[in-house]
Structure 1
Amino acid sequence: MASSPTVQTLSRRQLLKVASALGLSTAALGLRPTWASSAGLSNLYPQGVEQGNEISLTVRRESLPIAGKMGKPITLNGTSPGPLIRLREGQDAVLKVTNLLDEETSVHWHGLILPPEMDGVPGVSFAGIAPGETFTARFPVIQNGTYWYHSHSGLQEQLGHAGPLIIDAAEPEAFTYDREHVLLLTDWTFEDPQDVFRHLKVAEGYYNYQERTLADFFADVAENGFADTVKQRSMWEQMRMSSRDIADVTGSTYTYLLNGHTSKDNWTALFKPGEKVRLRVINGSAMSYFDVRIPGLKMTVVSADGQPVQPVPVDEFRIAVAETFDVLVEPEAGRAYTIFAESMDRSGYASGTLAPRLGMVAPIPERRKIADRGMEAMAAHGDMDHSNMQGM
């Protein structure tokens, strides 16, 4: 029988003590979780990885440097993104979440099979975690794979309230590897997320700086002829849609991050010659889809959303919000590779390096142009008759 959630309230004195202690811990740990350090050696279980039968997370808001500027994300145990939580299939997990924010918060254990009252969705499975309270989630771990956790309260996820969650298998998996790295993709904005939401309600294309121009019109006429170009433009206009409406929020406000780092940071995942490397790729962004590739290196997908799949070799894969993919790679000795995650609308990217030693870099691939959505894409949703859309 599943245990009931435990909620305990901190007194003001206890709250201040916890905040003070956390401040010291944050200074000692640094600004980012150790699993996201430049070495990226998450398989070595360094400090910053939370594991064991009982794990504690403390949620609060604080100022941290992001992309060379000071931001104010929501942190978990003093870091943003949050620490890597590592569980093992078959254990009984105890996860204590203390809220030091001045508003309600929550933690949803994305993709985990657990009692509904432990799922962490306010208003659905529990009441949320009020300021000064600690919520204890208790559940048996009955699966394995690559997952993540994040807030389900307001727009807190956009403020960095997220982190990776790995469950090690109780039995040997169907594939082998020598080393692993966690790659958490996120999108950060220095705008208030409420302002982003308001802008989208006022104008759906507010952040789209890649709309078609007069120059595009003449280029289309030269390629397709005047009549066909006008016909295509007219059909999109009748639908009140744009062929370049690919993403609602774009790189015009977003900074895309890999493990909390920009491309300039050159976050590096190390390998030794002859090793087979497992990359656990997690899309922990709020709004962004990414196309992930490692130029010059074939990837083999072995897991999707924590579930094993028939191995599939790929050069590139698209990862949607909240999805996870595990891929195996076998890099050559002495060479660096670029891990390149390009936003689906081509407005920006996150990147890092896979290399045998720190300090190595590989070229950033040439940026690709935004792809126009054709009428073929609309037809994928069934035959569409636009004859009655005139004047809508």
Structure 2
Amino acid sequence: MKTIILFLLLSLTVAQSRVVEYDLHISEQKWSPPGHREARAITINGGVPGPTIRFRVGDTARIRVHNQLKDEDTSIHWHGLLLPNAQDGVPGVTTPSILPGTTHTFEFPITHAGTYWYHSHTGLQEQMGVLGSIVILPKNGEPVKADRDHVVVLSDWTREHADEVMRTLARGSEWYAFKKGTTQSLTGAAKAGALKDFFEREKGRMPAMDISDVGYDAFLANGHESIELPGQPGETLRLRFINAAASTYFYLQSATGPLKIVAADGPAVQPIRVKRLLTGMAETYDVLVTVPASGKWEVRATSQDGSGHASVWIGSGEEHPAPDVPKPDNYSMDSHLMAAMDEMDAKPVSEAEALASEPERPLPPYARLRSPHSTELPAGLPRRTLTMRATGDMERYVWSFNGKTFAEDGIIPIKKGEVLRLELINDTMMHHPLHLHGHFFRVLMGQGKYSPLKHTIDLPPMARRTIEFEANDAGDWLFHCHLLYHMHAGMTRIFSYQDPSWQPPGKLKEGSNIVCNDICCLPGDPDAKTGTVDPRQLGHVPHGGDHDHDPLYFFLDGSVQSHLSDGRLTLRNARNDFYADWFIGYGDDEDEYEVDVAWSRYFNPNFSTVLGGRFTDKDDEENRAFAGVNYRLPYLVDSFAQLDSEGDVRVGLGKSIQVTDRLGVFAEIDYDTGSEWEWSAGADWLLNKQFSLTTQYHSDHGFGGGIRFRF
């Protein structure tokens, strides 16, 4: 009898649930924002972004995703939604890939309100246009009322194919900095009065800084560089901002005055006002703006690096643009770190004091966000603290946690019923928007039981954040940097729920607190130094899907000059270079060649090893094997030392310096106990991404010039 009653109650609940259905068609076509030349895009229902899909809490979502691509798999992840693990949409981890010509139906209950979005988790399709917005209304309507409700999807756009963008980043190219006008040079430092900072950076062996990785052609709001939203004078507009960019932070600012934040990452917050709001990739904010009595007023989304903006206009009449955001000072490391330091030292202040003291380039206002209700987790739950350091190499474009990419160490085993506190530390000079699938976490910045709930958090350069969440939904859930190219380069982990009998390192008791300094190893454990997982402690091991690969890239760099040709052909992944170097001198009585075929193993930005063979027709030399080390000295001077199979030693130094945004100079010198001294010096003048003019003096072959190429 009890079983029958339960069945009837369940049937009644299902019957009362409204099923809301959508069809999303993913296809390839030529597309561009108005005013730009078309390029290859992957659209949803023919547009970028895809349609806004809307629900109310209590609904059941039924979404059919049709893959109309000819030869590519695809996927859709429902970003920020709490749903069954199999519906999360991460190919190979939670959900099968959607094969070309097939349809996958997602169905899940809608359990919580807010502004969310959806996007592909396959390759780099998100950059190509596979993204859209989600709006979920509370059963009883929004707690903070507005007269109109608008969705604004922010994104970045480039005509370049996303795979080529990734390849350009992986080779350490400075082209995007030149494209954006942010190249750091000797003359630029002099003009900025920052020569001391320039040389201090080089002394510390740090490459030139930049806030954003990619040089974009446009920044968009709902697929346009400028949009107009309806609103009458005196009306309050709720603007649901979604940062769906692949690699761009945006500053939001309204010409009408401070923005009132009423929700962050979906959940409502106690309303606060800010003059300027920094939003990271994958974050969402609901803000209120009141339309003035007359005029057309701009709400501007400015890229963090100052290279462009998207405009949202409200009202009608004379235009009132939003204030310009001061551009960053890329020559001064202190300017990047000051806001984070100030935030750590900040004490609670009133809203008026906060507005008065708000810096021109603020960090996100996490310390001021408060949940309308208590978010405290049950005190009796067992607790662990995990330290996760954001690490990376901008030049080689290897991004990781605790020095390891996802392919090297991708799994964090956890147990249902425990509370995970994550100490997030940024050892890099880049911002990282870190996103957790399938859970909300508490942001711990002094708010106590009213700590806000979020699913994505900005981790500023050389700063730290502390978050915590209850492991309450079994399965495999991604945690990753939502800068698309950082995720693709290895800054990803999977929180993997283990069998009930599994225990983390150490003894996990109710209410206990275990500290794991390197992901899941206790201090003092042999594995703690490397952060690897003891396989005896690991039960279920998930597949990494599209995220555990270590892609290979081919690069060709060289020159053809009137007196010589030199260059390198490289096959590279995260840690290894397989390359062939060539040097050919000609045009005089000393025609000669030397070719090295070698393997170089990367350990960190300053150290690598090399093993290979040398083939040459130089006088008094013969083919041989060699081994050596490469080491970066202060002031970014490259050095090497090699010992070959004939007993000869070769050592050398090399240095390049950017004089202007186009002009670079270089010098190299080496000594070989067999062939003795050899040196060269020259200059390059940048023409475009692929070519430079070059001139060079070589100690054996004299002066000449020609073309330098990069493919």
TM-score (norm 2): 0.43
CA distance in 1, matches of 2:173, 2:204: 14
SS of residue paired to 2:177: coil
Does residue 369 of the first structure (1) align with residue 327 of the second (2)? yes
Q: Aligned to 1:247, which of 202, 205, 212?
A: 212
CA deviation map 1:282-302 (0-9, x unaligned): 001111111110123221001
Question: Paired residue for 1:261?
Answer: 224
CA distance in 1, matches of 2:463, 2:111: 40
CA distance in 2, matches of 1:97, 1:124: 18
Does residue 273 of the first structure (1) align with residue 240 of the second (2)? no
1:365, distance to aligned residue in structure 2 (A): 4.0
CA distance in 1, matches of 2:217, 2:286: 25
CA deviation map 1:162-201 (0-9, x unaligned): 0111111112433111111111111111111111111101
Does residue 87 of the first structure (1) align with residue 55 of the second (2)? yes
Does residue 124 of the first structure (1) align with residue 93 of the second (2)? yes
Question: Paired residue for 1:104?
Answer: 73
For residues 1-392 of structure 1, what are the structure 2 equivalents within 5 Å?
53-68=20-35, 69-102=37-70, 103-203=72-172, 205-209=174-178, 210-221=182-193, 229-230=195-196, 232-242=197-207, 244-250=209-215, 253-263=216-226, 267-355=227-315, 357=316, 361-363=319-321, 365-366=323-324, 368-372=326-330, 373-375=332-334, 377=336, 381=462, 390=634
CA distance in 2, matches of 1:278, 1:136: 31
1:361, distance to aligned residue in structure 2 (A): 3.6
Would the alpha carbon gap of residues 204 and 80 (structure 1) be closer, same or farther in structure 2, given more than 3 Å must change? same
Per residue, is there more helix in 1 or in 2?
1
Which moved further from structure 2: 55-64 or 157-166?
55-64
SS of residue paired to 1:197: helix
1:65, distance to aligned residue in structure 2 (A): 4.1
1:258, distance to aligned residue in structure 2 (A): 0.8
1:217, distance to aligned residue in structure 2 (A): 2.9
1:354, distance to aligned residue in structure 2 (A): 1.1
1:90–1:170 CA contact under 8 A, matched in 2 = yes
Per residue, is there more strand in 1 or in 2?
2
1:334, distance to aligned residue in structure 2 (A): 1.8
Higher radius of gyration, 1 or 2:
2
Letter of the aligned partner of 1:238 in structure 2? K
CA distance in 2, matches of 1:240, 1:378: 18
Letter of the aligned partner of 1:262 in structure 2? E
Would the alpha carbon gap of residues 258 and 52 (structure 1) be closer, same or farther in structure 2, given more than 3 Å must change? farther
SS of residue paired to 1:157: helix
Would the alpha carbon gap of residues 73 and 191 (structure 1) be closer, same or farther in structure 2, given more than 3 Å must change? same
SS of residue paired to 1:233: helix
Which moved further from structure 2: 333-342 or 320-329?
333-342
1:369, distance to aligned residue in structure 2 (A): 2.6
Letter of the aligned partner of 1:374 in structure 2? M
1:204–1:248 CA contact under 8 A, matched in 2 = no
CA deviation map 1:224-250 (0-9, x unaligned): 7xxxx43x3233113443564111113
1:274, distance to aligned residue in structure 2 (A): 2.2
SS of residue paired to 1:53: strand
Would the alpha carbon gap of residues 308 and 364 (structure 1) be closer, same or farther in structure 2, given more than 3 Å must change? closer
SS of residue paired to 1:166: strand
SS of residue paired to 1:124: coil
CA distance in 2, matches of 1:382, 1:283: 22
Which runs of no fewer than 5 residues in structure 1 stay unpaired?
Answer: 1-50
Relative CO higher for 1 or 2, CA cutoff 8 Å, sep ≥ 6? 1
SS of residue paired to 1:72: strand
1:52, distance to aligned residue in structure 2 (A): 6.2
2:54–2:136 CA contact under 8 A, matched in 1 = yes
Would the alpha carbon gap of residues 243 and 294 (structure 1) be closer, same or farther in structure 2, given more than 3 Å must change? farther
Would the alpha carbon gap of residues 329 and 66 (structure 1) be closer, same or farther in structure 2, given more than 3 Å must change? closer
CA distance in 1, matches of 2:249, 2:327: 16
1:52–1:87 CA contact under 8 A, matched in 2 = no
SS of residue paired to 1:297: coil
CA deviation map 1:267-316 (0-9, x unaligned): 10121122111010000111111111012322100110001111111111
Which moved further from structure 2: 166-175 or 370-379?
370-379
Which runs of no fewer than 5 residues in structure 2 stay unpaired?
Answer: 1-17, 342-461, 465-631, 639-711
CA distance in 1, matches of 2:19, 2:221: 26
CA deviation map 1:302-349 (0-9, x unaligned): 110001111111111011001100001112122211121111000111
SS of residue paired to 1:208: helix
Letter of the aligned partner of 2:266 in structure 1? G
